[in-house]
Amino acid sequence: MTMAKKKELTVEEKLTELYRLQEIDSELDKIEVLKGELPVEVNDLEDEIEGLNKRIERLQGTIAEFEDELSKQDANIKESNMLIERYNKQLDDVKNNREYEALSKELELQKLEIELSEKRKRDTVVKAEAKKEVLSETQERLEVKKEALSNKKAELDKIISNTDKEEKKLVSDSKKQRDKIEPRLLKAYDKIRSSYRNGLSVVTVSRNSCGGCFNKIPPQTQLEISLMNKVIICEHCGRILVDGSLAGEVVE
């Protein structure tokens, strides 16, 4: 048993299906306009928050290293003080000048070690305080961005909740409608549609002008469009032109 061959659509039928697709996609475009820049703003804020969190993590890591350095210098100072105390006790029991001079050098060395550690501590404290200030500013900025994100998401979620059902139906309708259109014509439709911000690929002739770019259409071309014997393209903007009757318009 052989399958029935799919009926070839007339040019008028092809244009009718194409214009129907344009109507559906234009309704989807209206929803996107309603959302405005909110989806982009939400994504940008999420990226910025992620970046700020990583920066905070790095700053906290650097501050922790500074704190380890301070602990290290405190341990060095403590050790030097213990050695100084021991050497001072040993001075009471020295038997000759050589021992005295050796202990005196060790005492001087440990005092220098303490001075060096104290300097390192001061430098580290300055660096740590600077990083803590940057950390505080970054955390404040993060909270501001989080609040902004929360507000933007709430605003977007409200729009989505109001349009979600309609949008899903339109997306489904658009897919079904696309299946009715031959690939070559669909490819041209998509290419033209992507070229314009308003997404208009198929337009009617209104007041003797192209409904997309509003340039005048010659009478002969208008006649050819009304006959719907072939696909007519606007010579100015490249959009597909269809007769107003397809849109339910009253043709003069």
202 with 93, same domain: the answer is: no
Mean pLDDT along residues 58-79: 96
Other Cβ atoms within 10 Å of 239 Cβ, number: 23
Residue 6 has pLDDT above 80, yes or no: no
Answer yes or no: do 137 and 210 share one domain.
no
Q: How many domains does the chain have?
A: 2
> Which pLDDT does position 250 carry in this prediction?
45
**DSSP type of residue 246:** G
| Rounded (10°) angle between helices 97-178 and 11-35 | 140
The CATH number that applies at residue 45 is: 1.10.287
Please, which pLDDT band fits residue 93 given cuts at 50, 70 and 90? confident
Quote the pLDDT of residue 146: 97
Q: What is the pLDDT of residue 245?
A: 86
Q: Alpha carbon of 219 to those of 19, 205, 209, 216, 223: distances in Å?
A: 22, 11, 10, 9, 6
Hey, is 206 helix, strand or coil? strand
Asked if residue 57 is part of any domain, the answer here is: yes
Judged against a pLDDT cut of 90, whether residue 214 lies above it is answered with yes
Shared domain for 128 and 237, answered yes or no, is no
* Residue 167 and residue 44 in one domain: yes
Which residue range(s) make up the domain with 45?
35-178
- Checking if the pLDDT of 71 tops 70, the result is yes
Residues 117 and 230 in one domain: no
Contact 237, 212 (CB under 8 A): yes
Phi, psi of 98 (to 5 degrees): -60, -45
- In the chain the beta strands, taken as DSSP E runs, fall at 202-206, 209-210, 232-233, 240-242
Structure tokens at 82: 């213990």
DSSP 100-153: HHHHHHHHHHHHHHHHHHHHHHHHHHHHHHHHHHHHHHHHHHHHHHHHHHHHHH
Residue 247 has a pLDDT of 74
**pLDDT surpasses 70 at 125:** yes
Residues 159 and 49 in one domain: yes
Q: Are residues 171 and 192 in the same domain?
A: no
**pLDDT tens per residue, range 39-60:** 999 999 999 999 999 999 999 9
**72 and 139 together in one domain:** yes
Average pLDDT, the chain: 92
The residue behind tokens 């940008």 is 44
Q: Say if 30 falls within a structural domain.
A: no
Residue 128 sits in the same domain as residue 192: no
Same-domain pairing of 166 and 62? yes
The pLDDT of 209-224, averaged and rounded, is: 94
Q: Is residue 11 part of a domain?
A: no
- pLDDT, average across residues 75-85: 95
Domain limit, last residue, from 178, 205, 222: 178
Instruction: Return phi, psi of residue 242, to 5°.
Output: -130, 160
Structural domain includes residue 87: yes
Task: Please say which residue of 131, 163, 178 terminates a domain.
Answer: 178
What pTM, to 2 d.p., does this model score?
0.64
Return the higher-pLDDT residue of 169 and 249: 169
Q: Quick one: pLDDT at residue 1?
A: 40
66: its two tokens: 């500074």
Give the pLDDT mean for 158-180: 93
Q: Which of 130, 159, 178 is where one domain is finished? A: 178
Q: Are 187 and 164 found together in one domain?
A: no
Average pLDDT of the segment spanning 26-50:
93
Residue 225's pLDDT is 93
Could you tell me how many residues make up the chain? 252
Query: Is 136 part of any domain?
Result: yes
16 is a domain residue: no
- Please choose, from the candidates 227, 223, 225, 206, the residue with its C-alpha nearest in 3D space to the C-alpha of residue 215: 206
Say if 186 falls within a structural domain. yes
Whether residues 194 and 237 fall in one domain:
yes
CB atoms within 10 A of CB 2: 4
Judge whether 157 lies within some domain. yes
